[in-house]
Copies of this chain bind each other. A is one copy, B any other.
Amino acid sequence: MASHRAAPEHTHPDDVPVLTALAALADPVRAQLVRELAASEDWSRSCGTFDVPVGKAAKSHHFTVLRAAGLVEQRDEGPRRVNRLRREEFDARFPGLLDLVLRGD
């Protein structure tokens, strides 16, 4: 059975203004999502597997912000929505920025 929800919309990092990228990463929950994704294999993590201290609706909003900032790509695999950090293309657009967040101090 296919899911009836709409496929997620994405923004390529090349189309993201720098302030949008900074605002996306400045939030502690989103920074944690990005760090967990960076430590995981591409497409191995569904949204439900991230243990962040927010409810389901808020978590969904955070993923929307990450997609709009060119940080995360998502696709639906049956009932699971799986994720990939767009590391290479985000790094090409904003060199060093993701490294600062992953460094985590």
Number of A interface residues in the complex (CB < 8 A): 19
Question: Is A82's beta carbon under 8 Å from chain B?
Answer: no
Please determine whether A19 and B23 come into contact, CB atoms closer than 8 angstroms: no
Segment with Cβ contacts to B, from A38-46, A47-55, A92-100:
A92-100
How far, in Å, is A101 (CB) from chain B's closest CB? 6
**Complex interface: chain B residues within 8 A of A101 (CB):** 18-19, 22
**Complex interface: chain B residues within 8 A of A104 (CB):** 18
Please determine whether A22 and B18 come into contact, CB atoms closer than 8 angstroms: no
Q: Say yes or no: A28-B18 contact (C-beta < 8 A), given A96-B95, A96-B97, A100-B97.
A: no
Instruction: Spell out A's residues near B (CB within 8 Å).
Output: 17-19, 22-23, 25-28, 31, 94-97, 100-101, 103-105
Instruction: Give 9 closest A-B pairs by Cβ, nearest first.
Output: A96-B96, A22-B26, A23-B26, A22-B22, A26-B26, A22-B25, A18-B100, A19-B26, A94-B100
